[in-house]
Amino acid sequence: MSAISLADWLQLFGHFLLLSFAAIGGAIVIAPEMHRLMVTQTGMLTDAQFAAAIAIAQAAPGPNVLFVAVLGYQAAGLAGAAATLIGIMLPSSLLAFAASRWSAARQDWRAVRAFKAGMAPITIALLVATGWILAANTPGWAHLILTVAAALAVWRTRLHLLVLIAVGAVVGAFGWI
């Protein structure tokens, strides 16, 4: 962890504030942009730290957005964790609350139904981009095979997601990947 200036802290907060509006489907879908800012552009984190932050937070119980706080903490301590987490949560939470109230009152409108249907491919594309960033920094091919197998299982079967998570945990626990 390194100490950052108030200007850097505000830049981090502002960047995550803007990213919040692109987080359709959750914060994990904008991980490539977080990687660009924190690893490539500012050098606040290394590739290994970035990947570890996501892995640790995803393994922990609780909301998936926890990795954002871990990234911020690794970059700049508690102030960094606060900057990234509040930045990512505040606008999207307020927007989601307002939009859900508005769309619930207008759920029979054709435009509302079309908008909701149109968001699905965007979310899928953002998740694929995130997977690509994470996979590119992991050596070997076994993790890619497991990822593709899990994606196909979700798409083609009615297998519960917790079963797939358990399989992934067993594979990781035995060190097969």
In tens, the pLDDT along 104-154 reads 999 999 999 899 889 889 888 887 887 777 777 777 788 778 878 888 888
For 30-60, b where at least 16 C-beta lie within 10 A, e where not — what string?
Answer: bbebbbebbbeeeebbeeebbbbbbeebeee
Domain count, the chain: 1
Q: Is the pLDDT of residue 52 over 70?
A: yes
**What integer pLDDT is reported at residue 126 of this predicted model?**
84
Q: Is residue 104 part of a domain?
A: yes
Contact 20/91 with Cβ under 8 angstroms? Answer: yes
Counting Cα atoms < 13 Å in the Cβ hemisphere of 67 gives 20
Structural domain range at position 40:
6-108
Higher-confidence residue of 37 and 26: namely 37
The Cα 26–Cα 96 span in angstroms is 12
Q: For residue 103, what are the contacts with CB-CB under 8 A and spacing of at least 6?
A: 112, 116
Does residue 146 fall inside a structural domain?
no
